[in-house]
Amino acid sequence: MSNVIKSYLLNVVSLLCVGWFLYDFLSLNIQFSEVMTDPEPPWEITMSIGSFASLIVLLTVSFFYYRARKKTKNVSPLLFPFEFAEEDEREKMITAEACKKAFVFLLFSIPIGAILIAFYPLLPNSFSFYPIAVLLLLSLVQLTVYYVSISKIYR
């Protein structure tokens, strides 16, 4: 059970790191678009290296965490979340049940997310990160549904 919690926390931290990196990248693109509209020097474009470094550290930690949990040598770092690595029939059934619940959640949440993103033109100046925040929030809730389903089944 503690492996499920560790995996969930690692996935949430990875979503937060990806969100931080995307926020900085979006800020970089906004600065670049301002330079393109007014190309008169002097101009400056800045991006925090911390978000990129945290993403690299997180990918490294995730890879080694997954490598330590998997008993075989041929490990794909693209396997995400880590509970997809089933070793017996019971784990396959647990994963299938949790995936089914997460899929049903997506059937209802994607249209709601699309409706929320449709409101983006109303607030581009005040909250430019809005579409990315909506997508990351949907991913966070989907992960939560998946891990709550797994934890209920394990009890």
Q: What is the pLDDT of residue 138?
A: 92
The answer on pLDDT for 76 being more than 60 is: no
Res. 85 pLDDT band, cuts 50 70 90? low
Total of domains in the chain: 1
For residues 74 and 146, give the distance between their C-alpha atoms in angstroms, rounded to a whole number: 25
* Cα diameter, the chain: 65
Name the least confident of 84-93, 112-121, 136-145.
Answer: 84-93
Q: Which two tokens stand for residue 140?
A: 């966070």
What stretches of 70-119 show up as alpha helix (H) in DSSP?
A: 89-118
Q: Which domain holds residue 110?
A: 1-154
Burial code (b: 16+ CB inside 10 Å, e: under 16) for 17-37 equals bbbbbbbbeebeeeeeeeeee
Q: What is the pLDDT of residue 124?
A: 67
Q: What is the pLDDT of residue 98?
A: 83
For residues 130 and 121, give the distance between their C-alpha atoms in angstroms, rounded to a whole number: 10
The answer on pLDDT for 79 being more than 60 is: no
Q: Which residues, other chains included, contact 74 with Cβ-Cβ below 8 Å and sequence gap of 6+?
A: none
Q: What is the pLDDT of residues 19-75, one digit of tens each?
A: 989 988 888 888 888 888 887 888 788 888 888 898 888 888 877 777 776 655 554
Q: What is the pLDDT of residue 71?
A: 56
Exposure of 117 by Cβ count < 10 A (0-12 exposed, 13-18 middle, 19+ buried)?
A: middle
- The average confidence (pLDDT) of the chain is 80
Q: What is the pLDDT of residue 7?
A: 78
Phi, psi at residue 86, to the nearest 5°?
Answer: -85, 145
